[in-house]
């Protein structure tokens, strides 16, 4: 084997997946040994049946003898095949459990990565690694486990039988099968290269699929659907070509390996005939010749499978190389304990992207029970300010809750967030809001607070990405999720963008009435409720001005202008938007 195979075989992280299934593999070992050692019974019985038939035709044996031998053959093979059934069952169980563990580790790793790090990788590549590569690796491990017995053990058994029957002829006939392994080694580069190209192409196809589904309506509206269709078809055609190439290299090589191994049939017939006629190295009956030939044919077939196995391992190695950095992460995902109501202090926080200052020296304080309105002009950084508290971006300055840096309080649930993307998943409304922490009275209360109690129930079905509900309903489900949480600070980014003014007023009243000791950071471009906020933060080009609504109306012309435009006291409809 080359260096790649050695690394694949000996990597302790990969070995750990085998050790975790030691009980399952123990059953595989016992049944595999019984089944594959018992495989030599087939050639032996076949040789004896040929001899019995010859003896019956010659009149030296009664016809009933072959019936008894046949019954013994059937019973023996039944026992062997039963163990084969058990072995295959437990090998499949091993593969399924390994696939599950691989995917769990990949998902665990992604959960511990920062949002920015996850976003840096293409969605299609992540899908391929989390699904296709994990399954490909597990399949390679399954084939390896299967062939250790179905090829390795049974080939040893066949070899021993050949050596017992005629060790000289056995050594001659075993010359050619190793050339099949040599050919497999030579083809490794082609097999691995084709598999790698196929995986990369699958990642691109997955990206194209996600893009096509997510942007279908937009592309249709702007007449770009034919262009996206062409790009998708191009990605699909590329994957088809490379997938076929990978399949050809892996699957069509078996006849080559078998042909190489079968060259040994020539000396078997030549020298075996001499053994039967008494002029060879040993004296054979018809049964011995038939047994030797049958054993070698099965050994040659298994030899071709073993060479093919090397190619399967090479293909699995590609998947291992792609996903190994996602495995073995032993960090625990913390179980968050809701924090107590305390003061939130933001001091001199700044944030830059690509050399551009997005937030500049932001400072403010919020106390439990307060609603802080945050607004600003387009691209002023208000949504970015909201995401700061999720610790997604590399900001400077200090954000302290209860006197401690929020980055040192990973085990506490301080913030709940409802953003532009509701991030709903396929399930019931209750599952989307409560995440399994069911409290009927609390659920009904938050549903009422967001004015959804007459529109959805706990059992209402929600599709992936909020399919099945309107944009306003999805937005309010996300808001209900934040309210349902026990977090003492709620960050609500444009929670009213898809509701009418009456509903907005009712929801705000519920927030004011039921927020209790929570801090609510209300980020919005709609200012109708801001006169009722305890404080307003106005962002302009990343800089902050703070005060009550009345104070900003008096000293901050941009805020006063925005408020006036939205009340219809001047400006055009376009300007108000």
The pLDDT value recorded for residue 140 is 78
Pick the residue with more confidence: 327 or 534? Answer: 534
The domain boundary, picked from 294, 326, 358, lies at 326
Q: Is residue 425 part of a domain?
A: no
What is the spatial distance between Cα 62 and Cα 52, in angstroms, rounded to a whole number? 9
Among residues 153, 90, 81, which one has the least CA distance to residue 298? 153
Contact yes or no for 69/77 (Cβ under 8 A): no
Same domain, 143 and 58: yes
Contact yes or no for 302/150 (Cβ under 8 A): yes
- pLDDT > 90 in the chain, percent: 18
86-131 pLDDT, tens digit each? 988 988 898 888 888 888 877 777 766 666 665 566 555 565 566 6
Among residues 465, 434, 463, 437, which one has the least CA distance to residue 447? 434
Same domain, 357 and 294: no
The pLDDT value recorded for residue 535 is 95
The pLDDT value recorded for residue 212 is 76
End-to-end CA distance of the chain: 67
Same domain, 198 and 242: yes
The pLDDT value recorded for residue 550 is 94
Same domain, 321 and 344: no
Both tokens of 289, joined, read 């010749």
The domain boundary, picked from 264, 298, 326, lies at 326
Q: Is residue 72 part of a domain?
A: yes
Kind and range of the H or E run holding 317: helix 286-323
pLDDT bracket for residue 6 (50, 70, 90): very low
Q: Is residue 501 part of a domain?
A: yes
The pLDDT value recorded for residue 251 is 65
Q: Is residue 510 part of a domain?
A: yes
What CATH number has the domain bearing residue 367?
3.40.50.300
Same domain, 279 and 391: no
pLDDT bracket for residue 47 (50, 70, 90): confident
* String of DSSP letters for 176-223: SHHHHHHHHHHTHHHHHHHHHHHHHHHHHHHHHHHHHHHTHHHHHHTT
- pLDDT > 70 in the chain, percent: 84
Same domain, 260 and 377: no
Pick the residue with more confidence: 207 or 257? Answer: 207
Kind and range of the H or E run holding 554: helix 549-555
Same domain, 304 and 381: no
Same domain, 143 and 239: yes
Q: Is residue 2 part of a domain?
A: no
What CATH number has the domain bearing residue 258?
1.20.1560.10
CB atoms within 10 A of CB 466: 21
Same domain, 321 and 346: no
The domain boundary, picked from 292, 326, 360, lies at 326
For 347-356, what is the mean pLDDT? 85
Pick the residue with more confidence: 273 or 127? Answer: 273
Same domain, 207 and 290: yes
Least confident of 95-104, 229-238, 289-298, 323-332: 323-332
Number of domains, the chain: 2
Instruction: Give residue 219's domain range.
Output: 11-326
The pLDDT value recorded for residue 577 is 33
Tell me phi and psi for residue 260, to 5 degrees.
-60, -45
pTM above 0.85, yes or no: no
472-519 pLDDT, tens digit each? 888 899 999 999 998 999 999 988 888 888 989 999 999 988 777 899
pLDDT bracket for residue 5 (50, 70, 90): very low
Q: Is residue 73 part of a domain?
A: yes
pLDDT bracket for residue 54 (50, 70, 90): confident
* String of DSSP letters for 216-258: HHHHHHTT-HHHHHHHHHHHHHHHHHHHHHHHHHHHTHHHHHH
Tell me phi and psi for residue 417, to 5 degrees.
-130, 135
Same domain, 126 and 202: yes
> What b/e readout covers 478-499, taking b as 16+ CB neighbours within 10 angstroms?
bbbbbbbbebbbbbbbbbbeeb
The pLDDT value recorded for residue 280 is 80
Pick the residue with more confidence: 111 or 544? Answer: 544
Q: Is residue 247 part of a domain?
A: yes
Beta partners for residue 376, in sequence order? 539
Same domain, 42 and 182: yes
């Amino acid at each position: 084997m080359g260096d790649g195979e050695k690394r694949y075989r000996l990597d302790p992280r990969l070995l750990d997946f085998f050790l975790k299934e030691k009980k399952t593999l123990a059953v595989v070992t016992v049944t595999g040994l019984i089944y594959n050692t018992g495989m030599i019974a087939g050639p032996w019985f076949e040789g004896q049946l040929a001899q019995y038939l010859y003896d019956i035709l010659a009149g030296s044996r009664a016809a009933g003898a072959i019936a008894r031998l046949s019954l013994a053959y059937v019973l023996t093979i039944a026992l062997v095949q039963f163990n084969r059934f058990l072995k295959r069952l437990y090998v499949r169980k091993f593969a399924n459990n390994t696939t599950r563990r691989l995917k769990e580790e990949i998902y665990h790793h992604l959960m511990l990565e920062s949002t920015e790090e996850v976003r840096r990788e293409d969605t299609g590549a992540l899908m391929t690694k989390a699904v296709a590569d994990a399954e490909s690796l597990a399949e390679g491990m399954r084939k390896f486990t299967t062939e250790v017995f179905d090829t390795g053990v049974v080939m040893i058994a066949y070899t021993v039988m050949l050596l017992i029957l005629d060790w000289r002829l056995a050594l001659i006939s075993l010359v050619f099968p190793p050339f099949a392994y040599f050919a497999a080694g030579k083809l490794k580069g082609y097999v691995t290269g084709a598999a790698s190209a196929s995986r990369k192409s699958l990642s691109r196809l997955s990206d194209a699929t996600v893009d096509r589904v997510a942007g279908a309506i937009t592309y249709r509206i702007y007449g770009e659907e034919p262009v996206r269709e062409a790009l998708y078809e191009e990605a699909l055609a590329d994957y088809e070509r490379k997938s076929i190439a990978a399949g050809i290299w892996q699957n069509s090589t078996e006849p080559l390996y078998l042909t190489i191994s079968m060259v040994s049939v020539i000396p078997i017939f030549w020298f075996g005939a001499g053994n039967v006629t008494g002029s060879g190295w040993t004296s054979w009956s018809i049964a011995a010749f038939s047994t030797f030939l049958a054993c070698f044919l099965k050994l040659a077939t298994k030899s071709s499978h073993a060479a093919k196995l090397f190619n399967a391992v090479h293909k699995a190695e590609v998947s291992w190389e792609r996903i190994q950095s996602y495995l073995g992460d032993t960090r625990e995902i913390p179980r968050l304990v809701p924090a107590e109501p305390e003061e939130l202090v933001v001091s001199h926080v700044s944030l830059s992207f690509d050399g551009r200052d997005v937030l500049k020296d932001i400072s403010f304080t919020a106390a439990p029970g307060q609603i802080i309105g945050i607004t600003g002009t387009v691209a002023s950084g208000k949504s970015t300010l909201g995401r700061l508290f999720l610790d997604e971006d590399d900001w400077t300055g200090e954000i302290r809750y209860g006197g401690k840096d929020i980055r040192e309080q990973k085990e506490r649930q301080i913030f709940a967030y409802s953003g532009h993307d509701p991030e709903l998943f396929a399930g019931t409304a209750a599952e989307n809001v409560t995440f399994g922490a069911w409290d009927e009275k609390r659920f009904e209360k938050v549903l009422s607070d967001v004015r959804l109690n007459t529109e959805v129930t706990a059992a209402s079905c929600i599709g992936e990405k909020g399919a099945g509900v309107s944009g306003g309903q999805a937005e309010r489900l996300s808001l209900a999720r934040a309210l349902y949480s026990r977090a003492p600070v709620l960050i609500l980014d444009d929670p009213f963008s898809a509701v009418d003014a009456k509903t907005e007023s009712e929801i705000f009243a519920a927030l004011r009435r039921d927020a209790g000791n929570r801090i609510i950071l209300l980020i919005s471009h709609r200012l109708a409720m801001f006169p009722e906020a305890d404080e307003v933060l106005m962002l302009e080009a990343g800089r902050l001005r703070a005060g009550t609504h009345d104070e900003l109306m008096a000293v901050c012309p941009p805020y006063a202008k925005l408020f006036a435009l939205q009340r219809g006291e001047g400006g055009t409809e376009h300007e108000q938007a």
